[in-house]
Structure 1
Amino acid sequence: MHNNQPIGLFDSGIGGTSIWKAIHQLMPNEATLFLADSLNAPYGIKSKDEIIALSCKNTEYLLNLNCKIIVVACNTATTNAIKELRSKYEVPFIGIEPAIKPAALHSQTQKIGILATKGTINSTLFHNSLQQYQNVTFVEQIGHGLVELIENGQINSPEMFDLLNSYLQPMIASDIDYLVLGCSHYPYLIPQIKKILPPHITIIDSGEAVARQTQKVLQETCGLHDLTTPAEQIFYTNSQSEVLQSFVGPNYSVFPKKF
């Protein structure tokens, strides 16, 4: 079974491009359509009802463009809205959650740091995930201000380094050996984070796991691209297109859109 309709992805901004990159690397022949809702970023400080409403808006926009599957490339939207999305729409959904399981299974110190948004850390889905690992100590930190700096292209700024340092030092002092990145924006901070963390601490994000799950669900449900027609990679943003362009590179088309 083949299906040449695009994979739809949405995020509260440009962070979800880290998920898009993992999907595109695994399935380069698939068409994709990425929606960057940067005008409403960050989702992590919004109420659950606001996050659900924005997630429905984004989903309907992508469905109107004939997307065959929706990847919720945002931890906050997944943990707060995916249940409602799956009950409201018939299209398959792929969510993204902090990769707690591999960290918990491999940690030697049984102490794991989690850097995530307020919306993710305060969600029921996140807390239910933690309850599965009673023998592990989780050192949680809300990444106040990180998404805003990333959205403004300030990844390598002194302000970013100072913020990260203030968030990570208590985790280092707590003897963590894994750091779980609980926001799709945060993989772009890995070079900065590595300057702060000792080399024995492993950093985990969800990109590859989400890509594999997307491929699996496509094979089981709506089908993969048939490879006979070119597959477009299209990006829409309702904010500064040049910032999104800088994250995806010059080879892809970024379009400003109102949605």
Structure 2
Amino acid sequence: MSNHPIGIFDSGIGGTSIFKEIHALLPLENIIYLADSANAPYGNKSREDILQLSVKNTELLIDRGCKLIVVACNTATTNAIAYLRQNYNIPFIGIEPAIKPASLNSRSKSIGILATKGTLSSALFHKTSDLYAKDVKVIEQVGEGLVPLIEAGQLHSQDIRDLLKKFTLPMIKAEIDYLVLGCTHYPYLIPELKKILPSHVTIIDSGLAVAKQTETVLRTKQILNNEASTPKIEFYSNGDISILKKILNNQFPVSYLNF
């Protein structure tokens, strides 16, 4: 199975931030990416809807021969990955907000977390937060409205700037020194966030950690692809593929797929 593809799915284009880290670390791996943009955002949906969508995406990737699936969506991870692991005989890699490194490294003992409603309200998020952030002040903020703007390609729009200023103001007042991005769409907002936040605030996401965990699991399962050939990278979206192409700088083939 070593030459079978890695499957990645997200509620849209956000998971491409995870794809880029995985592809950089594991350049020989074949990859299939599903952007469920027609149903974005997942963050304001019910747990039942998120579970149903995650099952749909998983089965499509399994049907295409994927050897491992990365749930490149914080909301889908926190609400569905336990079910997926119990019901499918394939390794799953999830995405969790980087609360642990932020809490352990914070000097001000105050950190901010920008995430979706679905992530912040999940049991997994609260379990992680209780475990690592007991002695740290955590400013939680739902990034309401950000994902639709990112999906529309408005990464540097005034609407994005206005929302980010609104969301980060309480964090700045609380003197945070770490901002955790709890949605895979949000790394695309880092350039705008850096213009707003004080220079000493460190912005962290889960991308590199997810790529390293993917490599670890592939090695452990002995399904790492070592064939020195050009990998087959496929992107599929059930939404506007022009935005996905732009995010990828037209480096990879992108196709519309009704799923």
Same fold (TM over 0.5): yes
Corresponding residue of 2:36: 37
Which string of whole-angstrom CA distances, capped at 9 and with x for unpartnered residues, describes residues 101-146 of structure 1? 0001100011110000000000000011111121111000000000
Q: How does 1:147-186 map to 2 (within 5 A)?
A: 147-186=147-186
- Give 1:222 deviation, angstroms: 4.6
Instruction: Give me the whole-angstrom Cα distance separating, in 2, the residues matched to 1:96 and 1:81.
Output: 11
Which string of whole-angstrom CA distances, capped at 9 and with x for unpartnered residues, describes residues 35-77 of structure 1? 0000000000000010000000000000000000000000000
Runs of 4+ that moved beyond 2 A: none
Q: How does 1:21-170 map to 2 (within 5 A)?
A: 21-132=20-131, 133-170=133-170
8 Å contact kept, 1:68–1:222: no
Corresponding residue of 2:237: 237
- Give 1:223 deviation, angstroms: 1.1
TM-score normalised by length of structure 2: 0.98
8 Å contact kept, 2:10–2:34: yes
> Runs of 5+ in structure 1 lacking a partner?
none
Corresponding residue of 1:249: 249
Corresponding residue of 1:217: 217
8 Å contact kept, 2:28–2:228: no
- Give 1:90 deviation, angstroms: 0.6
Identity %: 56
- Give 1:252 deviation, angstroms: 0.5
Instruction: Give me the whole-angstrom Cα distance separating, in 2, the residues matched to 1:71 and 1:184.
Output: 12
> Runs of 5+ in structure 2 lacking a partner?
none
- Give 1:8 deviation, angstroms: 0.2
TM-score normalised by length of structure 1: 0.98
Cα 1:222–1:77 shift into 2, 3 Å: farther
